Amino acid sequence: MSIPVPYDPELVAGLDAFVDLVEIIPLRADTIHANRDHFVTIIPPMSVQAAGRAVSWDDRVIPGPAGAPDVEITVVRPARPSSGPAPAVLSIHGGGMVLGTRFFGTGELIDLAERHGVVGVAVEYRLAPEHPGPAQAEDCYAALEWMAAHADELGIDPERIIASGMSAGGGLSAAVALLSRDRGGPRLAGQLLGCPMLDDRNETVSSRQYDGFGAWDRNNNDTAWDAIAGADRFGDDLSAYVAPARARDLSGLAPAFIEVGAAETFRDEAVDYALRIWATGGQAELHVWAGGYHGFAGFSPDAEVSKAAVAARESWLRRVLRLGA
């Protein structure tokens, strides 16, 4: 096993709490459903998340991809809408594309609505293995198309929509950006790829450094990609809408913000994705946070490196969505 990059000492307690809370059973093919059932219990319902906050929210059902089921979404708005069209965020939740619900990402939407007047849409995409890829990306893209088509109703500026997510949500945000480019669909203002899950091959140095320990280790990643890609995994023709790292052309994409910990499985594939965007003349802002584990800012918010990571993300959002101070 490769020698791992050590964790920032300030992050260790949060990492332990993360692992204890999220993974009661190692994630393997025969434990996906048990982990999925547990995951649901640790996500507060929207009524709890939004209690006492200056937001409104409602659940909706929108048309899914052609020939596929409808998609459930939750729309989060500021309690006092802005006088003009608002910026908007398509929120795509994490969970390896095998776990989680849209409410895993709504906390960020509530914060953005309160502080910046952002309108958010959280999408409930289909999960693997029941629904192999690219079902997940197609559901998320259907939500983006719906947002753009209903911009007036939602009170949003169709020129200021970003796709945003962490982990699997980061990978799916990258897939949505690819779909938008390739289909000439709604033009994204940006793609926020937080510790993104991009590459089914799981062969990087960083994936081998975190094998058997840490938050979302190499084994979890193998389990998830087997469920998502099935027999097509590792194949040369695997769709980039399943694993964005497989895209042969990363030109013409929406500006990307890519953040990742130096001490996690997805470090190297995230760095490579940024390098490949730059090679085409595209825009990417890359942050690799020293000693950071997977999703560290959310579970270790008081650590100095977490504060720096949040500030960098906020800066990018202000610039790309043209937010006020």
The pLDDT, as a whole number, for residue 81 is 80
In the three-class reduction of DSSP (H, G, I as helix; E, B as strand; rest coil), residue 184 is classed as: coil
CA–CA distances in Å: residue 156 to residues 7, 180, 208, 282: 40, 18, 43, 26
pLDDT surpassing 90 at residue 2 = no
Q: What confidence tier does 22 reach under pLDDT thresholds 50, 70, 90? A: confident
Span 205-214, pLDDT tens digits? 999 999 999 9
The pLDDT, as a whole number, for residue 202 is 97
- Of 228, 306, 213, nearest to 264 by C-alpha is 213
Antiparallel, parallel or unpaired: β 71-78 and 55-62: antiparallel
Span 152-197, pLDDT tens digits? 999 999 999 999 999 999 999 999 999 999 999 999 999 999 999 9
Does 108 or 22 have the greater pLDDT score? Answer: 108
The pLDDT, as a whole number, for residue 20 is 87
Q: What confidence tier does 23 reach under pLDDT thresholds 50, 70, 90? A: confident
Average pLDDT, integer, range 268-285 = 98
pLDDT surpassing 80 at residue 323 = yes
Query: In whole angstroms, what is the distance from residue 312 CA to residue 317 CA?
Result: 9
Quick one: what percent of the chain has pLDDT higher than 70? 99
And the tokens for 82? 């802005």
- Read out DSSP for 196-247? ----TT--SHHHHHSSSSSSS-HHHHHHHHHHHHGGGTT-TT--TTT-GGG-
pLDDT surpassing 70 at residue 325 = no
- 34-53 core/surface letters (b: 16 or more CB in 10 A; e: else): ebbebbeeebeebeebbeeb
**3-state secondary structure string, 120-134?**
EEEEECCCCCCCCCC
In the three-class reduction of DSSP (H, G, I as helix; E, B as strand; rest coil), residue 70 is classed as: coil
And the tokens for 11? 């992050």
Query: In whole angstroms, what is the distance from residue 152 CA to residue 78 CA?
Result: 16
CA atoms 47, 49, 55, 60: torsion sign? negative
Mean pLDDT, the chain, integer = 96
Q: What confidence tier does 21 reach under pLDDT thresholds 50, 70, 90? A: confident
The pLDDT, as a whole number, for residue 87 is 98
> For residue 47, how many C-alpha atoms fall within 13 Å in the half-sphere facing its CB?
0
Q: What confidence tier does 270 reach under pLDDT thresholds 50, 70, 90? A: very high
Instruction: Count the Cβ atoms, other than its own, within 10 Å of residue 155.
Output: 17
And the tokens for 38? 């547990």
> For residue 172, how many C-alpha atoms fall within 13 Å in the half-sphere facing its CB?
34
Span 45-102, pLDDT tens digits? 999 999 999 999 999 999 999 999 999 999 999 998 878 999 999 999 999 999 999 9
In the three-class reduction of DSSP (H, G, I as helix; E, B as strand; rest coil), residue 80 is classed as: coil
- The answer to whether 195 and 261 are in contact (CB under 8 A) is yes
Average pLDDT, integer, range 289-309 = 97
Average pLDDT, integer, range 129-152 = 98
pLDDT surpassing 60 at residue 1 = no
Q: What confidence tier does 25 reach under pLDDT thresholds 50, 70, 90? A: confident
